[in-house]
Amino acid sequence: MIEKKDISLERVVLVGIINKQQDEEKSKEYLDELEFLTYTAGGEVIKRFVQKMDMPNPKTFIGTGKMDEVKQFVDDNDIGTVIFDDELSPAQERNISKILNCKILDRTNLILDIFAQRAQTSYARTQVELAQCEYLLPRLKGMWTHLERQKGGIGMRGPGETEIETDRRIVRDKIALLKEKIKIIDKQMAVQRGNRGQLVRVALVGYTNVGKSTLMNVISKSEVFAENKLFATLDTTVRKVVIGNLPFLISDTVGFIRKLPTQLIESFKSTLDEVREADLLLHVVDISHSNFEEHIESVNKILDEIQSKDKPTIMVFNKIDAYKPEYYNPTDLDIERTTLHYSLDEWKRTWMSKTQNNALFISALNKENLDEFRKRVYKEVREIHVQRFPYNNFLYPDVEDIEL
């Protein structure tokens, strides 16, 4: 009999915690993001469970009572997958699987799965596979307990069942092989990058879904895939752009996220080389997202990890068309005015002073302020170019004199 594949959305429950580092508000925001990740992976969130606790339970992440509640809900509502908003230790994952008897995923696993679904080129696939193997290795024990459930769906695009069924040695060999493969591609990529000559290189970086590819498309007239899901882009696209006679290269690459699995940062090393070797970074931010300042911090942290924190950077605040401050009533004494109530102008002033005027405010979608954006990029690129080729600076006029 041919097994019929269920194509409807997988029914999912999310589990998160509230503690000193993440209050109720933060925890909600994190679970919103986890829900968006789940949706991107093809799941539908039926319910969220949250527990207040200072430290996650080392055995089961949440406490026993809460776990009973989750179990009851899972059994009563035909839930296929429970996703935890943090990385579970191998032991936690095993214990929880035993109790809940359904598929258990953590944030890392979910992100890896989305990457696996979305990897288009063999290069991206190889990198994702390496990250999956690294994640899998310490968790091989216990994989047997629910093998019969591993029939595809979220979190199951692993390196293949044959590998899961065999022992660690084979996974280790596979890791070595994938690393070898990546090394060969790395060399080819380095040669390619070398062939691009001395053109100034600009890289778009930023949190996932902020509009990097959309911006890339409007300024380079290319057609990079962009959509309202997370991690639409996994590979790097490089385009030559000319502003006022001055040619330079611009690259669009994978977006970042809070707690990006370290396995991914490591295995995406060569994709991220594009950022590492850039002369100028355009750090794109979605100003319409209530958590955008934390997104900036997450991105800066990853930039630091890939030794790119100190590069010349322009902050590009995108989606100004969608920015809406929360309503503030000055006569309501119970509500304190916070940054959530800031007008766009207040944000502009704040970030202009924070970055010594290294900030731009645009809408890539509505093409607002793009001339200002082009001029600003021209100016920065010209400066780098002139430093590199002092003898032909006369070729490129001052920004006031260029035609856009």
User: 66 is in the binding site of which of Mg ion, ligand GTP, none (Cβ under 5 to 8 A by kind)?
Assistant: none
Residues 288-327: x where in contact with ligand GTP by CB under 6 A, - otherwise, as a string: ------------------------------xx-xx-----
Please enumerate, by residue number, every residue annotated as part of a binding site for GTP.
206-213, 231-235, 252-255, 318-321, 363-365
Position 365 contacts ligand GTP (CB under 6 A): yes
Nearest distance from C-beta of residue 254 to ligand GTP, angstroms: 7
Q: Which positions make up the binding site for Mg(2+)? A: 213, 233
Candidate residues 70, 232, 243, 359; the one interacting with ligand GTP per rule CB under 6 A: 232
Contact range with ligand GTP by CB under 6 A, out of 19-27, 226-234, 260-268, 339-347: 226-234
Interacting partner of 365 out of ligand GTP, Mg ion, none (Cβ under 5 to 8 A depending on kind): ligand GTP
User: How far is Cα of residue 381 from the mean position of the Cα atoms in its chain?
Assistant: 27
Question: By C-alpha distance, which of 288, 220, 216 is closest to 253?
Answer: 216
Q: Which stretch binds ligand GTP (CB under 6 A): 15-23, 127-135, 184-192, 201-209?
A: 201-209
CA distance 361 to 97: 47
Q: Does position 102 bind ligand GTP by CB under 6 A?
A: no
Q: Which of 208, 237, 308, 313 binds ligand GTP (CB under 6 A)?
A: 208
Residues lying near Mg ion in the complex (CB under 5 A) = 212-213, 232-233
> Does residue 105 belong to the site contacting ligand GTP (CB under 6 A)?
no
- List interacting residues with ligand GTP (CB under 6 A): 206, 208-214, 226-228, 230-233, 255, 318-319, 321-322, 363-365
